[in-house]
């Protein structure tokens, strides 16, 4: 039967497809770590209370990258080159979503509006990450090779998502509500397009590695496109709503370590 669990089981069982999966994931997490590090260094004076949380966010992303690389090493595999069409973070930046890397490379303080762009971008992308890791955790949380890693990353992504809700609500209470909603909507609509394109590219690469039939490739591509149609019509709204999270001050402490994966 064609299901998310059966597809990922195939990817997990094959060294080359697992290598590509972990390499794509590690690259994206490392990029997120760099971005958060630069944002933390550029936070304006009036918002310095945010710095430890942004640093924690970046440390978590760096940790996730190390975990995916450790999963590769545990199988005796080297990281694979990341095909450009599967580079989620790069494609989002090209669409103007989030803070431009050129801005982050300059040593100029960010504005409050810049912080809202950063948080809105994180709110949308962490929604996707939290959902995907929750799915992997549900199906493979007890797996002897990847279960512990998936559980740890899933917990972190849930914390990241809660943090973005909390901080955006704080800014909304300060009078930035309309800017936040406009920015969230633009981010969400761009993200679902990028997610569709990246998903199609990843599945095409996996199909070639795993020798999927044309019929199976077509069925998976149709499923990805159908999910996009739903998200374009209504599903994007889950990415722009804001509510007080159950996890309060989720990034208020130091990042947890993962020595068993180092």
Domains plus CATH for the chain? 4-184 (1.20.1260.10)
Whole-angstrom distance, CA of residue 98 vs CA of residue 120: 8
* DSSP 8-state class, residue 258: -
Distance CA 239, CA 191 (A): 10
On the question of pLDDT at 187 being above 50, the answer is: yes
262: confidence class by pLDDT, cuts 50, 70, 90: very low
Classified as helix, coil or strand, 8 is helix
Residue 260 pLDDT more than 80?
no
**What is the predicted pLDDT for the residue at 26?**
97
Residues 194-223: tens digit of each pLDDT? 999 999 999 999 999 999 999 999 999 999
| pLDDT tens, residue by residue, 55-99 | 999 999 999 999 999 999 999 999 999 999 999 999 999 998 999
Q: What pLDDT, on the 0 to 100 scale, is given for residue 249?
A: 86
pLDDT confidence of residue 259: 54
255 or 36, which is more confident: 36
Confidence check: pLDDT of 257 > 80: no
Q: Which pLDDT belongs to residue 3?
A: 86
pLDDT in tens, 228-256: 999 999 999 999 999 999 888 899 866 66
pLDDT of residue 2: 72
Q: In sequence order, which residues have a C-beta less than 8 Å from that of residue 194 and are 6 or more positions away?
A: 88, 91, 92, 95, 97
Cβ neighbours of residue 140 closer than 8 Å, sequence gap 6 or more = 8, 12, 146, 147, 150
CA-only gyration radius of the chain, Å: 18
Q: What is the pLDDT of residues 122-157, one digit of tens each?
A: 999 999 999 999 999 999 999 999 999 999 999 999
Give mean pLDDT, residues 26-42: 96
Going by C-alpha positions, the residue among 54, 46, 117 that lies closest to residue 251 is: 54
């Amino acid at each position: 039967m064609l299901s998310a669990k059966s597809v990922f089981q195939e990817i997990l069982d094959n060294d080359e497809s697992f290598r590509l999966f972990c390499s794509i994931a590690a690259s994206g997490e490392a990029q997120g770590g760099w971005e958060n590090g630069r944002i933390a260094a550029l936070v304006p004076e009036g918002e310095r209370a945010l710095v430890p949380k942004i640093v924690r966010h970046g440390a978590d992303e760096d940790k996730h990258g190390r975990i995916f690389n450790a999963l590769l090493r545990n199988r005796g595999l080297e990281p694979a080159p990341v095909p450009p069409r599967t580079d989620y973070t790069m494609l989002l930046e090209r669409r103007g979503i989030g803070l431009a890397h050129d801005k982050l490379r300059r040593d100029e303080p960010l504005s409050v509006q810049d912080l809202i762009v950063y948080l809105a971008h994180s709110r949308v992308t962490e929604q996707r990450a939290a959902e995907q890791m929750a799915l992997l955790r549900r199906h493979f949380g007890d797996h002897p090779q990847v279960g512990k890693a998936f559980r740890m990353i899933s917990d972190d992504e849930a914390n990241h998502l809660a943090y973005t809700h909390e901080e955006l609500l704080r800014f909304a209470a300060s009078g930035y509500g309309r800017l936040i909603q406009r920015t969230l909507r633009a981010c969400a609509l761009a993200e679902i397009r990028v997610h569709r394109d990246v998903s199609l590219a990843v599945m095409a690469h996996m199909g070639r590695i795993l020798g999927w039939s044309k019929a199976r490739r077509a069925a998976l591509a149709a499923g990805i496109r159908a999910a996009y149609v739903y998200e374009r019509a209504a599903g994007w709204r889950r990415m722009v709503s804001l509510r007080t999270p159950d996890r309060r001050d989720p990034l208020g402490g130091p990042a947890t370590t993962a020595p068993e994966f180092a």
